[in-house]
């Protein structure tokens, strides 16, 4: 999948927006699948110890965290996601991640279908975080036949912060329906409802995590999507989305 060129014509399309995350969970892909336009929000602050740099897989003894280390080029208060540089100097984290994934899923039914994608992206060892998170996202969207229009926020001439930024992005892309995750409800609905004032219909995304067969014992939900892909394969993951 290639990133789409911006379409500025007014429409009744649904737009959603999220920060790029490392190996996102199933609900992230369900949000994209149920949107006409998905904005990858790279022009907002990088949050320390967030899903932007880490996620979980399932090992023999429970959850295993995989974290991408980031260089301290400036304070986190001033560091945008798009400018975050990966730290390769404090140990070979790429090798550790790949070893952990092999140890956790080498006995899964679909290991050989999925592992080479992850290995290829990580072994490129790019300079910037988004060159892993966005590239991996596009790879999996292609794999799952999700054809939502993808736009990078750095390519949008928007203004403001938080809900003001969301309104500006909707206006710039000519959409009048915005789908938000439930976790953003507090700041979106606190104070003035700018969506209502700007005649943008506000939709709320929910996703009930499915239960599927996993290796390594008792089921654990809300892991990175690779857990589902390794265990049940591409076609079944499409159905679960």
Residue 142 included in any domain:
yes
| pLDDT tops 90 at residue 211 | yes
Q: Which domain holds residue 158?
A: 11-240
Q: Which pairs count as long-range contacts for 103-107, CB under 8 Å and 24+ apart, including other chains? A: 103/59, 104/57, 104/58, 104/59, 104/60, 104/64, 104/215, 104/216, 105/57, 105/215, 105/226, 105/227, 105/230, 105/231, 107/215
Q: From edge to edge, which strands make up the β-sheet containing 175-181?
A: 149-152, 37-40, 11-18, 175-181, 201-205
What value does the CA radius of gyration of the chain take, rounded to a whole number of Å?
18
Distance CA 189, CA 175 (A): 20
Residue 1 included in any domain:
no
Instruction: Say how many domains are in the chain.
Output: 1
Q: Which residue has the tokens 């992850």?
A: 118
CA distances from 67 to 15, 98, 165, 219, 220 (A): 29, 12, 28, 22, 19
**What per-residue confidence (pLDDT) applies to 11?**
61
Tell me which residue of 150, 151, 149, 169 sits closest to 159, measured CA to CA: 169
Residue 135 included in any domain:
yes
Model pTM above 0.85: yes
**What per-residue confidence (pLDDT) applies to 217?**
87
Looking at residues 206-235, what average pLDDT do you find?
96
Looking at residues 164-188, what average pLDDT do you find?
86
Residue 4 included in any domain:
no
**What per-residue confidence (pLDDT) applies to 163?**
83
Residue 5 included in any domain:
no
Q: Which residues contact 115 (CB under 8 A, 6 or more apart)?
A: 101, 102, 105, 230
Looking at residues 193-221, what average pLDDT do you find?
91
| pLDDT tops 70 at residue 1 | no
Whole-number percent of the chain with pLDDT over 90: 77
Secondary element (H or E) of residue 159: none
Looking at residues 83-104, what average pLDDT do you find?
95
Q: Which residues contact 41 (CB under 8 A, 6 or more apart)?
A: 17, 18, 19, 20, 81, 153
User: Which of 27-36, 76-85, 146-155 is predicted least confidently?
Assistant: 76-85
| DSSP β-ladder status, 54-59 and 175-181 | unpaired
How would residue 188 be classed by pLDDT, with cut points 50, 70 and 90? low
Tell me if residue 176 falls in helix, strand or coil: strand
**What per-residue confidence (pLDDT) applies to 2?**
45
**What per-residue confidence (pLDDT) applies to 190?**
65
Distance CA 13, CA 166 (A): 15
How would residue 166 be classed by pLDDT, with cut points 50, 70 and 90? very high
Q: Which two tokens stand for residue 31?
A: 């949000």
Residue 74 included in any domain:
yes
| pLDDT tops 80 at residue 154 | yes
| pLDDT tops 60 at residue 8 | no
| pLDDT tops 70 at residue 40 | yes
Q: Are 139 and 95 in contact (CB under 8 A)?
A: no
**What per-residue confidence (pLDDT) applies to 48?**
83
Distance CA 83, CA 203 (A): 31
Look at 73 and 85; give whichever has higher pLDDT. Answer: 85
Average pLDDT, the chain: 91
**What per-residue confidence (pLDDT) applies to 189?**
65
Residue 63 included in any domain:
yes
User: Which of 49-63, 70-84, 88-102, 140-154 is predicted least confidently?
Assistant: 70-84
Residue 3 included in any domain:
no
Q: Which two tokens stand for residue 216?
A: 């390594």
| pLDDT tops 60 at residue 4 | no
Tell me which residue of 189, 71, 67, 171 sits closest to 127, measured CA to CA: 71
């Amino acid at each position: 999948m290639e990133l789409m060129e911006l379409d500025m014509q007014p429409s009744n399309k649904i737009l959603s927006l999220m920060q790029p995350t490392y190996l996102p969970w199933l609900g992230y892909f369900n949000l994209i699948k149920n949107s006409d336009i998905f904005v990858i929000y790279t022009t907002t602050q990088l949050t320390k110890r967030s899903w932007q740099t880490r996620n979980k897989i399932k090992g023999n003894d429970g959850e295993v965290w995989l974290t991408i280390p980031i260089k301290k080029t400036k304070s986190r208060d001033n560091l945008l996601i798009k400018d975050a540089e990966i730290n390769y100097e404090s140990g070979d984290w790429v090798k550790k991640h790949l070893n952990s994934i092999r140890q956790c899923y080498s006995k899964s039914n679909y290991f050989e279908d999925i592992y080479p994608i992850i290995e290829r992206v990580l072994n490129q060892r790019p300079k910037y975080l988004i060159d892993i998170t966005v590239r991996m996202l596009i790879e999996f969207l292609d794999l799952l036949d999700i054809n939502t229009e993808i736009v990078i926020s750095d390519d949008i001439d928007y203004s403001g912060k938080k809900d003001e930024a969301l309104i500006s992005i909707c206006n710039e892309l000519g959409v009048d329906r915005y789908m938000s995750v439930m976790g953003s409800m507090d700041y979106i609905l606190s104070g003035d409802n700018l969506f209502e004032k700007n005649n943008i219909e506000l939709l709320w995304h929910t996703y009930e995590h499915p239960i599927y067969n996993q290796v390594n014992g008792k089921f654990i939900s809300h892991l990175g999507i690779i857990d589902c892909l390794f265990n049940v394969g591409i076609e079944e993951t499409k159905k679960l989305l």
